[in-house]
């Protein structure tokens, strides 16, 4: 994939990985559109990067997703790339009745929104130069951590859906990439911390972006970064071993 001269829509550009992708792509001669719920963050970024296109949206709402894509194409008719990055990470205690609204919020944000947005951009991407959809999954797609059961399930589903999307789009010219991050130092899971800005450790976000860009530039359609690589490789090896008997 070429990482210059694109027009990229990045969901969730107000912090963490999405913001760092946006900064990287802006610095490399791409047109970048970001979205998020927090308008103060969008305004702050727009003031810092006047060329950045910002659109406030809440990906929970289908109408907000449709409006996002409509506005992105209106303002940037050369749109050729979607990065499905926005996500939330919640815990759930499965030994008690679950909070259904949290479960639904997590599934819609992490899985339904990327599926819907991708379907909305296919027509636009078809026929553009080097069109691509990039899905951000997780090392936890390959092995779950039990205290975030719904999060891990959504990421496993993002992996599965990415395989199907890649297959279905193979004759359209649209390349489908999946990038599985390891733990990355961002605001993810801030609900569990006292202070939103408190670090939870993990790979520095810019280090992650450098590795992710290397994977995209080398056309690695399914890339796991850092510690996520061994999680993906071990699962793939186990799959091969199990299935070699049949």
Ligand X SMILES: NC(=O)c1ccc[n+]([C@@H]2O[C@H](COP(=O)([O-])OP(=O)(O)OC[C@H]3O[C@@H](n4cnc5c(N)ncnc54)[C@H](OP(=O)(O)O)[C@@H]3O)[C@@H](O)[C@H]2O)c1
**Size of site (CB under 6 A) for ligand X:** 31
- Footprint (CB under 6 A) of ligand X, residues 140-169: none
Helical H runs in the chain? Answer: 16-27, 39-48, 62-75, 100-107, 113-125, 149-168, 205-217, 227-243
* Residue 221 found at the interface with ligand X (CB under 6 A): no
CA 48 to each of CA 16, 43, 218: distance values in angstroms, whole numbers, following the listed order: 16, 9, 31
Element (H, E) at 222: strand 222-224
Q: Output the smallest distance, CB 209 to ligand X, in A.
A: 10
For ligand X, the closer of residues 185 and 244 by Cβ is: 185
Convert 4-25 to b/e letters by CB count within 10 Å (16 or more is b). eebbbbbbbbbbbbbbbbbbbb
- Which range, of 47-55, 80-88, 90-98, 162-170, touches ligand X by CB under 6 A? 80-88
151 is catalytic: yes
Chosen residue from 22, 55, 86, 133 binding ligand X by CB under 6 A = 86
Can you tell me whether residue 236 is helix, strand or coil? helix
Chosen residue from 57, 83, 148, 232 binding ligand X by CB under 6 A = 57
For ligand X, the closer of residues 80 and 89 by Cβ is: 89
Chosen residue from 2, 38, 70, 167 binding ligand X by CB under 6 A = 38
Q: Output the smallest distance, CB 236 to ligand X, in A.
A: 18
Rg (CA), the chain: 18
Calpha distance 18→186 (Å, rounded): 10
- Which range, of 13-21, 43-51, 169-177, 214-222, touches ligand X by CB under 6 A? 13-21
Chosen residue from 92, 132, 174, 187 binding ligand X by CB under 6 A = 187
* Residue 118 found at the interface with ligand X (CB under 6 A): no
* Residue 68 found at the interface with ligand X (CB under 6 A): no
Chosen residue from 24, 46, 60, 128 binding ligand X by CB under 6 A = 60
Backbone angles phi, psi at 131, to 5 degrees: -70, 145
Are the C-beta atoms of residues 46 and 54 closer than 8 Å to each other? yes
Calpha distance 69→245 (Å, rounded): 46
Chosen residue from 183, 211, 222, 224 binding ligand X by CB under 6 A = 183
Give the number of other Cβ atoms within 10 Å of residue 217's Cβ.
11
Calpha distance 239→206 (Å, rounded): 32
Chosen residue from 136, 157, 209, 215 binding ligand X by CB under 6 A = 136
For ligand X, the closer of residues 131 and 226 by Cβ is: 226
Q: Which residues bind ligand X (CB under 6 A)?
A: 12-18, 35-38, 41, 57-60, 85-89, 109, 136, 138, 181, 183-184, 186-188, 202
The residues carrying an active-site annotation are 151
């Amino acid at each position: 994939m070429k990482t210059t001269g694109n027009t990229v829509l990045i969901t969730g550009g107000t912090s963490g990985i999405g913001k760092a992708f946006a900064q990287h792509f802006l610095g490399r001669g791409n047109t970048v559109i970001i979205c998020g719920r927090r308008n103060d963050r969008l305004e702050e970024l727009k003031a810092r990067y006047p060329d950045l296109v910002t659109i406030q949206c809440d990906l929970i709402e289908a109408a907000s997703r449709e409006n996002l894509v409509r506005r992105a194409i209106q303002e940037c008719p050369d749109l050729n790339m979607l990065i499905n990055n926005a996500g939330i990470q919640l815990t759930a205690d499965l030994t008690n009745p679950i909070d259904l609204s949290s479960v639904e919020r997590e599934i819609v944000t992490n899985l339904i929104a990327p599926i819907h947005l991708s379907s909305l951009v296919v027509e636009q991407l078809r026929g553009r130069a080097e069109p691509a959809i990039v899905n951000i999954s997780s090392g936890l797609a390959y092995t779950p951590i039990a205290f975030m059961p719904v999060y891990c399930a959504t990421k496993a589903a993002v992996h599965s859906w990415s395989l199907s999307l890649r297959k279905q789009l193979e004759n359209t010219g649209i390349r489908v990439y999946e990038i599985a991050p390891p733990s990355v130092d961002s605001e993810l899971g801030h609900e569990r911390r006292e202070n939103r800005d408190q670090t939870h450790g993990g790979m520095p976000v810019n280090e992650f972006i450098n590795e992710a860009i290397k994977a995209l530039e080398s056309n690695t359609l399914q890339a796991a970064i850092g510690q996520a690589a061994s999680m993906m490789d071990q699962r793939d090896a186990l799959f091969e071993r199990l299935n070699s008997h049949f």
